[in-house]
Structure 1
Amino acid sequence: MRDVCIVGGGVAGLAASIFTARAGLDTLVIDGGESILARNASLENYPGFPNGVDARRYLQLTREQARNAGVEFELGRVTRAEPIEATDLEEGFALETEGGDPLEARRLIAASWSSSDYLVPLDVGRTKRGSKRFVNVDTGGRTAVEGVYAAGRLADEPHQTIIAAGHGAKVGLAVVHDSDANFYHDWVVPEGYFTGRGREVPPGCEEIDDEERRKRDEQARESMLEAFAEPLDEEPTMHPSVEQN
């Protein structure tokens, strides 16, 4: 049984997965195949990219970051989610997928805009607006069902990449805090930041010396130079209704 199963491999789901995996939770992302962000021609309002960035490149880098954190991926679509034991939600949840083996997880994050019919058996509470349905959540992305969360646009967050990423991270941290993970803060600090004050390094934090800091900086620069060395040979995905016309 996985600690966390995230349905949806877009921005919100990926951000959530990075935080749950870095906190030591066994995390699986079920990726439906394409994020809505892939329709973006140029991502130009995400902090840190002064001249914008190719949206598909951003997705690639975020998936690589999740894999580096220990996240595993499975391609497919979830068709049904329900408690393993109807009277005991702590037993976790069973997920059925199209053509795949059933999956089990202690906690479930729905980040699958705009698909949420698989949540009907869980009765998490959904609000219909136009042709879309949004999952009702609290400030941490928790639904009415203990152990089930929703992140990003599916949780009625604004349709912007930076907000989806931030909300996904917030929901991921809510899952971490609701779990048995020994966790204080996800923060890499200079050597002595805590220990120099006579404190133990808190769970989830890491102190690194200057040599390690320079090593990580070099690795980061090399990976980014490699990622942006050549234009990405992928085109934006057009809205399905336009293709049909």
Structure 2
Amino acid sequence: MRDVCIVGGGTAGLAASIFTARAGLDTLVIDGGESILARNASLENYPGFPDGVDARRYLQLSREQARNAGAEFELGRVTRVEPVAKGDLEQGFVLETEGGEPIEARRIIAASWSDSEYLVPLDVGRIQRGSKYFVDTDEAGRTAVDGVYAAGRLADEPHQAIVAAGHGAKVGLAVIHDSDANFYHDWVVPEGYFTGRGREVPPGCEEIDDAERRKRDELARTRMLEAFEDPLDEEPTMHPSVEQD
């Protein structure tokens, strides 16, 4: 049984997976194969990229970061979710997928805009607005069903990549705090930041000396230079209704 299963490999789901995996939770992302962000011609309002960034490149790097953190990915579509044991949510949930084996998880993050039909058996509180369905959540992404969360646009967050990423991270932190993970903050700090004040390094945090800091900086710069060395040979995905026309 997985600690957490994230349904949706877009911006919100990827951000959540980075946090849960880094906290030591066994994390599986079920990726439907396309993020809405892949439709962007150019992602130009995401902090840290002064002249914008190719949206598909951003998604690739986010997936790589999630894998580096320990998250695993499975390509597929979830069709139904229900408790492993009826009336006992502490036993976790079983997810049925198209053409795949059932997957069991203690907690679920739904980040699959705009598909939420698989949540109907759980009665999480879906809100219909026109042809779309949102999931009712509290401020941390928790639904009416213990152990089930929603992140990003599915949780009625604004339709912007930076908002989806931030909300996904917030929901990931809620999952961590609701789990048995020994966790304080996900911080990497200079040597002595805690110990220099007579404190133990809190769980989830890490102190590194200057040599290690420079080593990590060099690794990060090298990887980014490689990633952006050549243009990405991928075209934006057009909206399905345009393709049909």
TM-score norm. by structure 1 comes to 1.00
Percentage of pairs with the same residue: 86
Describe the SS at the equivalent of 2:188.
Answer: strand
Q: Distance in 1 between matches of 2:43 and 2:120?
A: 34
Instruction: Provide the residue aligned with 1:218 in structure 2.
Output: 218
Aligned: 1:125 with 2:132: no
> 1:100-139, aligned counterparts within 5 Å?
100-139=100-139
TM-superposed CA distance for 1:154, in Å, is: 0.2
Describe the SS at the equivalent of 1:196.
Answer: helix
Describe the SS at the equivalent of 2:154.
Answer: helix
Describe the SS at the equivalent of 1:188.
Answer: strand
> 1:39-188, aligned counterparts within 5 Å?
39-188=39-188
> 1:169-208, aligned counterparts within 5 Å?
169-208=169-208
Structure 1 residue ranges without an equivalent (≥5): none
Describe the SS at the equivalent of 2:85.
Answer: coil
Instruction: Provide the residue aligned with 2:227 in structure 1.
Output: 227
Q: Distance in 2 between matches of 1:75 and 1:235?
A: 21
Return the letter of the residue paired with 1:243. E
Structure 2 residue ranges without an equivalent (≥5): none
Aligned: 1:236 with 2:232: no
TM-superposed CA distance for 1:87, in Å, is: 1.4
Instruction: Provide the residue aligned with 2:15 in structure 1.
Output: 15
Q: 4+ runs of 1 displaced by more than 3 Å?
A: none
TM-superposed CA distance for 1:50, in Å, is: 0.1
Describe the SS at the equivalent of 1:226.
Answer: helix
Return the letter of the residue paired with 2:173. L
TM-superposed CA distance for 1:86, in Å, is: 1.5
TM-score norm. by structure 2 comes to 1.00
Count of matched residue pairs: 245
Describe the SS at the equivalent of 1:84.
Answer: strand
